[in-house]
Amino acid sequence: MFKRRHPGLLLNNNRAFTLVEMLVVLGIMAILASIAVPFAQTMVRRSNEMELRSALRTVRTAIDKFNIDWTGGKISKFCDCASDDGYPKTLKVLSEGADMPGPVQRKVKYLRHIPRDPFADQKLAADEQWGVRSYSDDPSSQSWGGQDVYDIYTKADRKASDGSKYRDW
């Protein structure tokens, strides 16, 4: 079992980890995992928050562009896609297009597709994931008057990493 290679020195040929070494390694791995998991969760949350901000900005910009075009006469005043205030009647109008005036039937589209809400139920259609407000609704209203789409918000009732509610963004 023991071989002598040098005078006065005994060497053990059994190369294995002791129970203490295994426990130390497991303890270190547990400490690293307890640090890594919350960090990963925070990164996923921040990524979803950035996606939400981007989606809100994209749709709000499209709504504003629609209103500018309606006011400027680029969209037909007789189009059933716009309200009397010049805002789209539904979110789908932004991706399906609005009729342009003139002898040739043409549509102007403002979005290729309606972005998804990262905090909503992904089984719903993209236009059903968002809460909408009309021009005549109160800015803090959680119910839609149904006339048009003046603004959107997420229906998620969670708080952001800065403490604000996502639906107030």
Domain boundaries, the chain: 54-156+164-168
Q: How confident is the model at residue 54 (pLDDT cuts 50, 70, 90)?
A: very high
d(C-alpha 15, C-alpha 48), whole Å: 49
pLDDT band at 80 (very low <50, low <70, confident <90, very high): confident
Residues of the chain with pLDDT > 70: what percent? 92
**Looking at per-residue confidence, does 16 or 131 come out higher?**
131
Average pLDDT over the chain, rounded to whole? 88
Partnered with residue 99 across adjacent β-strands are 107
Tell me what pLDDT residue 2 has: 56
Q: Give the pLDDT confidence score for residue 105 in this predicted structure.
A: 82
pLDDT reported for residue 3: 57
User: What global pTM score does this model have?
Assistant: 0.77
